[in-house]
Structure 1
Amino acid sequence: MAIHKLDFDDFDEIDYSLIAIHTSLEDYRLAYFINQKLHVNLNKSIKEIQITVKEGEAHFSRFHYYEKKKEISWDLIQNKNEVIHQQKEENQSLFSNIIDLEAAKKVYMLPEFKKVEYFLKIENCEMNLNLLEIMNKLNTIDNVAMTYIVDTNRIKSKNNLIF
């Protein structure tokens, strides 16, 4: 009987590039401008990305496009959002004892990049695309302050990018 051995290093292989985008644009407007500049067709995905944090469930918007000819997958992902959770506060007043408050807390898709508004995740783009050219085109969009390639080795929360 043959023994098959799995090496966990095979599963850690990263086959995507990640571009950080600093902008004040809303997600749908940014997707529209990216579609124009890069000649892709990003569409709002019904499946938002869900991440569980101690305050509750966080939902991040996602725009997706799959290019069949080159087999490249494009995802525009929101990095910042808020989770609203219930917080009880005891108040020592004459008329009430306990007050239910709603508190909002900022959560991040990739917490190690708190200043980034969006990420453009491009899968299977090793030989087919020039990332510097993509960044230059993204920088020509009005209200995009800066873009840069994220070193995937610096990402501690890589599991958040699996969807």
Structure 2
Amino acid sequence: MAIHKLDFGEFNEIDYDLIAIHTTLEDYRLAYFINQKLDLNLKKSIKEIQIADKEGEVHFSRFHYYDKKKDISWDLIQNIGEVIQQKKEENQSLFSNIDIEVAKRVYMLPEFKKVNYFFKIENSEEDNDILLKIQYALNSIDQIATNYTVDINKIKSKNNLIF
């Protein structure tokens, strides 16, 4: 009988670049500006990113574009989500036994709590000039405060980026 071995080292290869974006823009407006500056066609994906957290299940918005000619996948991903929990107030007061909704912030990548969005570029060439051009184009959007590339090897929760 033959023995088949799987080498899990192949699955650990990182074939994407990640840019952190700090902005106050809504996701659809940011996608619109990125489409203009980078000549893309980001569209809201019906497949939101779902992450189960100890607080509950969280949905993060995602805008996606796949360039068939260059075989590059572009994703604009929300980093901050909210979980609404029901808590029962058990005080001995006039408003006792009232259900209170409490919203708690949950982050897709908890190591980057100040980042609003991530721009994930899959299958891109390992050319830093292209990343610098993308960052320069993002900097030309007035509502973006700053953006920078993220060292993927330092991310503890990189499984959240698999979708």
TM-score by length of 2: 0.94
Cα drift, residue 55 of structure 1: 2.0
Number of equivalenced pairs: 162
Which runs of structure 2 are paired with 1:96-107 in the superposition (5 Å)?
97-107=96-106
Paired position in structure 2 for 1:72: 72
Counterpart of 1:123 in structure 2: which amino acid? E
Point out the more displaced range, 39-48 or 51-60.
51-60
Which runs of structure 2 are paired with 1:5-154 in the superposition (5 Å)?
5-93=5-93, 95=94, 97-127=96-126, 130-154=130-154
Point out the more displaced range, 30-39 or 3-12.
3-12
- Determine helix, strand or coil for the equivalent of 1:33: helix
- Determine helix, strand or coil for the equivalent of 2:35: helix
Cα drift, residue 81 of structure 1: 1.5
Post-superposition CA distance 1:52-85 (Å, at most 9, x none):
1122211111000000001000000000111101
Cα drift, residue 117 of structure 1: 0.3
1:127–1:97 distance in 2 versus 1, CA, 3 Å: closer
Post-superposition CA distance 1:29-69 (Å, at most 9, x none):
11011001111100011111111112221111100000000
Distance 1:152 1:127 in 2: 14
Q: Which stretches of structure 1, 4 residues or more, deviate above 4 A after TM superposition?
A: none
Indicate the RMSD between aligned Cα atoms, in angstroms: 1.5
Counterpart of 1:56 in structure 2: which amino acid? G
TM-score by length of 1: 0.94
Counterpart of 2:143 in structure 1: which amino acid? N
Structure 2 unaligned runs (5+)?
none
- Determine helix, strand or coil for the equivalent of 2:111: helix
CA contact (8 A) 1:78 1:119 kept: yes
Distance 1:35 1:113 in 2: 24
Distance 1:151 1:132 in 2: 15
| % identical aligned pairs | 73
